[in-house]
Each structure stands twice: as structure tokens, then as C-alpha cells.
């Protein structure tokens, strides 16, 4: 918080098993009281409002099956700050967009987040949008699937 005192963190979550501990931690840390907002569960239709107002998308998962929320955030030009797990490695092209940090390692999170936050946001956001358009959009996936299918048909 000392490095970026104007930063705001909005926590959207569907399970509240750790909510009491998080609230207690925030209440015990004066700088966090005004900077961290617990949103909780929201209707999925509302998520684009958060993505479109965010600069960075932070996710500390230890495993993910699809990483769909990360893809949604990237589609809005939000810069990922996510854990270095296989799904996120693939979605971010091994951290070519945003940064990857080691699961459970607060120093790794801090150092990587600070690194990406200090880069020009307009450039990093455009990289995210371009990567989404070229690799993760329905159009890009469709083109790749079509090319793969056509190559398989040629080799039969």
C-alpha cells in the first residue's frame, strides 16, 4: 500500500469461507480500510462493469480448469497479475501479457505486481487486447480449429 497509496482492490468472490479472516485483517490494517472493498458474489451479467473499470486483474488460484474469468478480463484489456499455474501460463502466453507469480509467495506477488504496475498501462492494456483478439477470441479459436481440421483432412 505504501508504494501505491491510491490503489483500490475490489474482491469479488462466490465462497465466503475466509471472509471473517479477511475482514479482520482489513480492520487491523488502517491503510487497507479505504483501499480494499469486499464485493462478494455478483450476478455474472455485472462482471463486465468491474472489468471495464479495472486496470489489473489479480487472481491467486493454485489450480484452474479453464481460467474463464481471466480470459474475460483480458477481453476488456485488463492486465493480468496471476499465479504461475498451467492454465494461466497458457492464457498469458507464459506471462507475455501481464505477469505470473509463484503460488503462495507474497514476495513473488509483490515484486511481479510492482513490475507490471510501473509499466505504461496503455501499452500493457493494448498488448492484452491484441493477444485476446489474436488468440483467445471466438474468431481466433474458430480460425485455428478450422485450420487444424483442414490440415487433418489433407493428411488422410
Q: Domain boundaries in the chain?
A: 42-154
pLDDT band at 86 (very low <50, low <70, confident <90, very high): very high
pLDDT digits (tens, 9 = 90+) for 95-136: 999 999 999 999 999 999 999 999 999 999 999 999 999 999
CATH of 42-154, one of 3.20.20.330, 3.40.50.150, 3.90.1150.10, 3.40.50.2000: 3.40.50.2000
pLDDT at residue 5, rounded to an integer: 85
Question: Over pLDDT 70: what percentage of the chain?
Answer: 99
Distance CA 155, CA 49 (A): 46
Instruction: Please state the separation of Cα 122 from the chain's center in Å.
Output: 16
DSSP secondary structure code for residue 78 in this structure = P
DSSP secondary structure code for residue 80 in this structure = E
pLDDT at residue 122, rounded to an integer: 97
pLDDT at residue 124, rounded to an integer: 98
Q: Name the pTM for this structure.
A: 0.89
pLDDT at 1 over 80: no
Amino acid at each position: 500500500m505504501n508504494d501505491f497509496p491510491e490503489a483500490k482492490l475490489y474482491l469479488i468472490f462466490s465462497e465466503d469461507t475466509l471472509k471473517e479472516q479477511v475482514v479482520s485483517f482489513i480492520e487491523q490494517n488502517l491503510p487497507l480500510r479505504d483501499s480494499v472493498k469486499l464485493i462478494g458474489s455478483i450476478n455474472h451479467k455485472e462482471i463486465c462493469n468491474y472489468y471495464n473499470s479495472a486496470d489489473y486483474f489479480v487472481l491467486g488460484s493454485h489450480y484452474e480448469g479453464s481460467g474463464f474469468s481471466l480470459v474475460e478480463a483480458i477481453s476488456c484489456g485488463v492486465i493480468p497479475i496471476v499465479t504461475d499455474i498451467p492454465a494461466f501460463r497458457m492464457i498469458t502466453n507464459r506471462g507475455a501479457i501481464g505477469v505470473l507469480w509463484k503460488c503462495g509467495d507474497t514476495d513473488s506477488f509483490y515484486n511481479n505486481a510492482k513490475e507490471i504496475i510501473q509499466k505504461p498501462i496503455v501499452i500493457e492494456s493494448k498488448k492484452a487486447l491484441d493477444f485476446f483478439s489474436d488468440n483467445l477470441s471466438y474468431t481466433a479459436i474458430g480460425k485455428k480449429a478450422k485450420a487444424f481440421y483442414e490440415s487433418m483432412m489433407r493428411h488422410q
